[in-house]
A and B are shown apart, each in its own frame.
Chain A
Amino acid sequence: MTAQGIGVALRRKEDARFLTGRGTYTDDISRPGQVYAYILRSPHAHASLGRIDTAKAKAAPGVLAVFTGADMQVGGLPCGWGVKSKDGTPMAEPPHPVLAQGKVRHVGDPVAVVIAASRAEAKDASELIEIDYKVLPAAVTVADALKPGASALHEKAPGNLCFDWHIGDKGAVDAAFAKAAHVTQIEIVNNRLVANPVEPRAAIGEFDRGTGEYTLYTTSQNPHVIRLLMGAFVLQLPEHKLRVVAPDVGGGFGSKIFHYAEEAIVTWASAKVGKPIKWTAERGESFASDAHGRDHVTHAELALDKNGKFLALRVATLANMGAYLSTFAPSVPTYLYATLLAGTYTTPAIYAEVKAAFTNTVPVDAYRGAGRPEACFVIERLVDTAAREMKIDPVELRRRNFIAKNAYPYQTPVALVYDSGDYFTTLEMALKSGDHAGFDKRRQDSAKRNKLRGLGIATYIEACGIAPSAVAGALGARAGLYETAEVRVHPTGSITLFTGSHSHGQGHETTFAQLVSERLGIPTEMIDVVHGDTNKIPFGMGTYGSRSLAVGGSAVVKALDKVVNKGKKIAAHLLEASEADIEFKDGKFTVAGTDKNVPFAQIAFSAYVPHNYPIDELEPGLDETAFYDPKNFTYPAGCHIAEVEIDRDTGVVEVVKFTAADDFGRIINPMIVEGQVHGGLAQGIGQALYENAIYDEDGQLLSGSFMDYCMPRADHLPSFSVATNVTLCTHNPLGVKGCGEAGAIGSPAAVINAVVNALAALGVTDMDMPATPERVWRAIAEHNMPKAAE
């Protein structure tokens, strides 16, 4: 370990600019001559479009242009993942127009765009557009959308069904249930969430008439993916004429992975209008147009033998896709969900069916955890329920079913092979650091204050860094899932690292610099990390699914290997030694067994000023690029323990103690890792207690602002206790697993298990998310109520 290398809690390089107001987020950018776009959105959940009259808007002050779907005849927004139904038929994949074509399918569906000299003028003019809507019946739940006779959203999706998919061995599961000593059943609603990064989405399109080149500045987690999707599928622009820049991005949590209509609109319109065009979402637009997350309804059954060993798991899920297929939507309730249903346990047989449907709601796609929190919630609610029903201690029941420490690689019955892990140790760490043994005393203390205290445990596993590309392709991914890195060594030995990963809060500029510092022995002040610009970086798949370090970091290591290998050749020449005898350590190339050495900076200089250089055998320069395609997913795992106190009179739930023990493999920067866990926990606790995207039956989003959608605030949350255990990933060069999503995966189940535990004495056995004061108060009231006479 060097002073700034792997394992050091190095303070972040990027903080200086963020703390002084010098960050550059998309809306901070102003291009010369820039004008503004306002998107007019459907106020109806489902309607056919009649006449659209834009004449008055076009004549309004400051207006340069108004475009509707009739003007913007371009390709639809593509879906990047295809899923096949049980019978082998491809999923229904109806068109997703950029601007509505003949119909609107959710509140917020873009209908027209006004381009004007100011934001205010564009918005004012949008109110002058006259649209004849013929309102149609709406369906907001999967159950309603799949009912016979439900109003059809798309011609190409009969019965509103997107796909009816399954995984696992149904016969084996049925046989296991037939001989089970006990069967536990639960019904689960995994509530719909809105990612709500504090930076709203924004986009600036610019067309250079001189070069014919388009530039899109956008709030994206993966600019190369946006360039590919928008260039190849929507606007038919070749990549060499399209630059996509994702500058500083103010949080993503999945919602900024996807290609959105507004990106295509400002890019396309910038050429029509001949000026750079900026669009920035108002928060209300974010609620009505950023992809939402979760929204599952699930029936699940667990078969156990008389000793509590899990025999089989059967799961049936209805997944809401929203009105259109967002970029990676089909993967979330299938390959990122059902393949995780083994969790940390040895359940030998698993069968899951997932029906996905179109509804008149905002499209649903990956949100922090994406499928894995949903799987964890199913499993861990089942385990706690089974423990109560069978009168087995919930900790003991988990231990009895954990995958053994020596069982890796472990093949689950739902496709995945876990490479490493140790669930016993993270459980013990969480029990110890959360003072599990002292819970009874704390419960009694709470009772003295007339509070109901409960403790809930959840263990989780996640699969990160979807891989390898060939396997992902076989499962329906329509993209590679590798990552790139370019290490450009400058003549005097400083370094620019270009990565295809993207930081929108994760601290890549620090962590990735630490990887370089560790390997080359140079201080991080000499290393800059560049990301987020398709004109600078060779290619990139971006940041999502906790993949940056496991995939992007591995690409960095691979590129560094190439730099060192070339450096050895140069050093061998300078030191007049055989290449095989050159060692690289502590920033110096040394002839083994001697003190003859050259420092790294001198090698860099020789590479660019090759006066004394093996020029016949070796090209000058020291600039290496690597593409890394992972061999498998990585499998972070851990245990979360929540303790809650419930006010009997108001139903208010307070998380009074929260302990996480996680295994993320090798940790590069422990400070950043802890920060990632904290943020994930806040979002998971938010799902469990506060957040809910609620539609009324007409498809109006009732929780469509920060006044109605309860974002977790500082006084909703406790300080967290976070610990880590390390089992190394066996198949990537750093041994890293990823830490970005874990906090949001285990915590919802831990909190709800704690709430149910607190109310168990009253006879409460279940609680939906979010466990709002109203829901909890009603549960208390119902169970306290004397039974009415029959």
Chain B
Amino acid sequence: MTTVTLTVNGKPATAQVEPRTLLVQLLREQLGLTGTHVGCDTSQCGACVVHVDGVSVKSCTLLAVQAEGASVMTIEGLANGNDLHPMQAAFREHHGLQCGFCTPGMVMSAVDFAKRNKKPTEQQVRAWLEGNLCRCTGYHNIVKAILAGTEAMARTAS
């Protein structure tokens, strides 16, 4: 067992993990943050996307020990109390989710996208989403939501 110490959603967290433990396993099984999901075993579905030091990362591609000292944000840390983050609100407004399983990863990925692309095109959104699978929506409304959420984030920032 190895000790890993990190910050999760702004709070310090320490856990004893087997060296082979993935970050997503630490989050879900030891820290109880089950909003981050696991949909595959080949790092392709993107349901497990979180932010590590502000950048979107598939938390199944990182060993927990690699997150030593890092600041991790999960979907549970995105909203401001009861107020949805503008990207979460855009997903709701544009019906960008159905079963909700890919949603946390989609939203976390989209927030990172919005930080990097202030005035994106539909094609840029679609290209960015190559690492996130959704089986319910056909992506149509996810793309609309991300475009709207990106605009809302830019408005909030300015």
Contact = CB atoms under 8 A, between A and B. Distances in A.
Does B bind A?
yes
Contacts of B39: 198-200, 250, 283
B122 to A, nearest CB: 7
Interface stretch (A17-25, A205-213, A296-304): A17-25
Given A678-B140, A679-B98, A706 B133 contact: yes
A19 B103 contact: yes
A680 B137 CA distance: 8
A311 B44 CA distance: 49
Contact of B92 (A19, A675, A712): A19
B138 A681 contact: yes
Contacts of A17: 100
A12 to B, nearest CB: 7
A507 B103 CA distance: 15
Nearest to A251: B99
Contacts of A448: none
Interface stretch (A131-139, A481-489, A714-722): A714-722
A723 to B, nearest CB: 14
A15 B91 contact: yes
Contacts of A198: 37, 39, 45, 47, 99, 101-102, 133-136
B20 A28 contact: no
A711 B133 contact: yes
A679 B135 contact: yes
Interface string A189-224: 000000111111000000000000000000000000
Given A251-B99, A683-B135, A714 B143 contact: yes
B99 A504 contact: yes
A11 B33 CA distance: 26
B34 interface: yes
Interface stretch (B62-70, B74-82, B150-158): B74-82
A705 B88 CA distance: 30
B44 A706 contact: yes
A21 B127 contact: no
Centre residue among B18, B84, B91, B140 by max chain A CB count within 10 A: B140
B95 A12 contact: yes
B126 interface: yes
A479 interface: no
**Contact residues of B: prevailing secondary structure:** loop
Interface in B105-130: 107, 122-123, 125-127, 129-130
A719 B93 contact: no
A507 B98 CA distance: 7
Contacts of A11: 92-93, 95
Given A198-B45, A505-B100, A21 B135 contact: no
A415 interface: no
Given A25-B37, A505-B98, A715-B126, A197 B91 contact: no
Interface string B31-62: 00111111111101101000000000000000
A618 interface: no
A248 interface: yes
A720 B34 CA distance: 33
Contacts of A680: 138
Nearest to A503: B99
B135 A675 contact: no
B11 to A, nearest CB: 15
B98 A715 contact: no
B97 interface: yes
Contact of B129 (A16, A250, A711, A713): A713
A506 interface: yes
Contact of A706 (B42, B76, B104, B143): B42
A28 B34 contact: yes
A251 B101 contact: yes
A20 B84 contact: yes
Contacts of A504: 99
Contact of B101 (A25, A280, A506): A25
B41 A282 contact: yes
A711 B138 contact: no
A675 B139 contact: no
A14 B139 contact: no
A671 interface: yes
A770 B19 CA distance: 42
A674 B126 CA distance: 19
Contacts of A12: 92, 95
Contacts of A671: 95
A197 B40 CA distance: 10
Interface in A469-517: 504-507
B142 interface: yes
A712 B101 CA distance: 17
Nearest to B33: A21
B88 A19 contact: yes
A332 interface: no
A682 interface: yes
A707 B129 contact: no
A336 to B, nearest CB: 21
B95 A713 contact: no
A705 B41 contact: yes
A678 B75 CA distance: 25
Nearest to A22: B35
Contacts of B140: 675, 678, 717, 719-720
Contacts of B5: none
B135 A713 contact: no
A21 B35 contact: yes
Contact of A20 (B20, B88, B101, B129): B88
Contact of B44 (A20, A23, A195, A707): A707
A284 B44 CA distance: 12
B138 A707 contact: no
Given A671-B95, A682-B139, A719 B122 contact: yes
A679 B136 contact: yes
B141 interface: yes
B136 A714 contact: no
A530 B84 CA distance: 24
Nearest to A706: B44
A249 interface: yes
Interface string A1-43: 0000000000110111111111111011010000000000000
Given A16-B92, A284-B41, A707-B44, A675 B35 contact: no
A70 interface: no
Contacts of A15: 91-92, 97, 100
B130 A715 contact: yes
A113 B78 CA distance: 39
Contacts of B28: 27-28
Shortest 10 CB-CB contacts between residues of A and residues of B: A21-B35, A250-B101, A18-B100, A505-B99, A682-B138, A505-B98, A678-B138, A21-B75, A28-B34, A714-B129
29 contacts: A15-B97, A16-B84, A16-B92, A19-B91, A19-B92, A20-B84, A20-B88, A21-B33, A22-B76, A23-B101, A25-B101, A198-B45, A198-B134, A199-B99, A249-B99, A250-B100, A251-B98, A251-B101, A253-B135, A506-B98, A672-B95, A675-B95, A678-B137, A679-B136, A706-B45, A712-B138, A714-B125, A714-B143, A743-B138
